[in-house]
Chain A
Amino acid sequence: MIYGVKRIIKYVLGTDIAGRNLAVYPDDTFIVSYPRSGNTWTRFLVANLVYPGQPVTFADIERLIPDCEAQSSRYLKRVARPRIIKSHEYFDPRYKKVIYIVRDPRDVALSYYDFARMYRQIEDGHPLASYVSDFVAGRLSSADWGTWGENVATWVSARNGRPGFLLLRYEDMLSNPAPELAKVASFLGIDPAPERLAAAIERSSADRMRKWEAKQGERWVSTRNKRSDIPFVRTAASGLWRSKLPPSSIAEIESAWGALMKSLGYELTVGKAVSEGNRAGAALPELVKERT
């Protein structure tokens, strides 16, 4: 009853977090990914690309590219249109223009583990292997966004290859950001001039972002009141899972999502022979052929 009344008041005042109840406009663009997949970096890149004259820091980013899972319905309603919105939601048919970033789930798991410590969801000594099991089984507190596999599979199977959907791999963005950002520019109808791309990349470098985080950690909704001894901007690297993830955890992830990972171009380590044997009837990798 009290809960009901509180909800009414929140809803009427618009102070409820938008999340999946966000009112979507037809001219919205979304930057979507599963958590810990390079979404914040992409927000910085896109903000620097779209608003070259403005400062882009953690103190500005919620104004430029708001987070629909951190901001209220009322806040999002007042953002100037056309909006660019950050989201971690699994497939939502109302999102008509989507930049989707995917990252190797073995690296995502590692990154998420540090993030969970930063957010004080787990203790420092929490066993990594048991965290990975929860990650695979959808037992994390973010289960409402689906598992990594559900989040990726719903978006990719419903939208990849269709107009209004741009699929990027975090690993490609890391190894060669300019061509990936050029795709974003074309997708947004912005001239992909090399100097403009280079400037946006330079202004969104991991070093810069780390410096801003050190200075502005308490001013950004996603780092405020969290442990400041663990950084939000982590290694900005790929492939760390090879040295840091227990083999059993690697096997667990690959057995849950191996086929999907392969279709995205992520090589499997476990049961390599078996999975290659299975390739016979499959036109592979159809998901990546667009990109190459």
Chain B
Amino acid sequence: MLKRVIAEAKRAFGLQSPGRNMAVFPDDTFLVSYPKSGNTWARFLIANLVRPNEKIDFSNVNRVIPGPEVTRNRDLIRLPRPRIVKSHQYFDPRYPRIIYIVRDPRDVVVSQYHFQRKRKLLADHFPLPEFVRLFLTGQTCFYGSWGEHVASWLATRHGTPGFLLLRYEDMIQDTAQELSKVACFLNLPATPDLLERAVDRSSADRMRQLEKSQAQLFTSTKDTRQDIPFVRAAKPGGWQSSLPPECAAQIEQAWGQIIQWLGYELLSGERAGSSDSAFPVSAMGGPLR
């Protein structure tokens, strides 16, 4: 009872991060992704582009691009508008403009496994196949399963004007080009110089350097194990060496159609399992790749 009073009092006075109860303004832009899909990197890139005169690091990125999961409600409300807000939420009809980052789920699961070890939510010897099983049923975080998350956004917003879909893998391959799409979407000036500077200032090397000295200043790394890095490989396809083939097969069985639609190659060949006959490919228009 007392706990409830305190929790609700905190909420009423804006001292809690609001999550799904966040107040959305019509001029907001949201940077959305499932966790461990390159969202923090994208925040660095965009924040460096928005504030070219202010070097972005782990101590100030939350201020430039806050999020309903990491920022107190009163701070969110007081932010200068238009806001750019980071979010891990599955579909929310109120988000007016969305930059959605998607990443190969076979890499996402490996990354999430290490992140949860870092946050001391998993023991080091926790079996990866068991984690994959939990991942498939959406039990590893509060935002639904990877497939539910991606499907809920794509099936509602893909192809509409206020939606920009980016693949993490394309961002790695040609960062400046993908960032220029973001700049165009946000109506930001983007000369090659500005883009290059933002890309340099957000490089994996620089972020690793910053993480070393600023881990305690950032919500996602504060009070976590320091022997496991937050900025990990920053490479696509790591799953091919670290994920047991049967685990990869399970993921393809569950979400083969979405994975293929997004242009990721399946290990198990052309057409994977039928259990995601759910995903209305026909309602989505042609495949992304």
Contact = CB atoms under 8 A, between A and B. Distances in A.
B276 A161 contact: yes
B4 A11 contact: yes
B211 to A, nearest CB: 30
Contacts of A290: 277
A147 B282 CA distance: 20
Interface in B246-289: 274-286
A202 interface: no
A158 B12 contact: no
Contacts of A153: 155-156, 280, 283
Interface in A142-179: 143-147, 149-150, 153-154, 156-162
B145 A93 contact: yes
A21 B279 CA distance: 27
> Range of interface residues on chain A?
35 or more
Interface string B8-23: 1101110000001100
Interface stretch (A35-43, A210-218, A244-252, A255-263): A255-263
B156 A149 contact: yes
Interface centre among B4, B274, B277, B278 (most CB of A within 10 A): B278
A146 B93 CA distance: 5
Contact of A90 (B8, B21, B93, B143): B93
A260 B283 contact: yes
A154 B156 contact: yes
Given A8-B5, A259-B285, A157 B278 contact: yes
Given A91-B148, A154-B156, A282 B93 contact: no
B204 interface: no
Contact of A162 (B275, B282, B283, B285): B275
B280 A156 contact: yes
A8 B91 contact: no
B281 A283 contact: yes
Nearest to B7: A11
Interface string A272-291: 00000001011111110110
Contact of A12 (B8, B154, B277): B8
B156 A93 contact: no
Interface residues of B, number: 38
A242 interface: no
Given A7-B8, A138-B93, A143-B93, A262 B278 contact: no
B278 A156 contact: yes
A20 interface: yes
Interface in A65-115: 90-91, 93
Nearest to A155: B152
Contacts of B113: none
Interface centre among B91, B148, B282 (most CB of A within 10 A): B282
Given A150-B91, A161-B277, A290-B277, A93 B147 contact: no
Given A8-B5, A154-B155, A286 B277 contact: yes
Nearest to B1: A12
A193 interface: no
Contacts of B278: 156-162, 287
B229 interface: no
B28 to A, nearest CB: 16
A4 B13 contact: yes
B144 interface: yes
B236 interface: no
Contacts of A158: 144, 147-148, 151-152, 155, 278
Given A11-B8, A93-B148, A290-B277, 14 more contacts: A7-B11, A91-B152, A143-B94, A150-B91, A154-B155, A157-B278, A157-B280, A158-B155, A160-B277, A161-B277, A162-B276, A162-B278, A263-B283, A281-B286
- List 5 tightest A-B contacts by C-beta distance, closest first: A93-B144, A282-B282, A4-B12, A157-B155, A160-B278
13 contacts: A4-B12, A7-B12, A11-B4, A12-B1, A91-B148, A93-B143, A93-B144, A157-B151, A158-B148, A260-B280, A260-B283, A263-B283, A283-B281
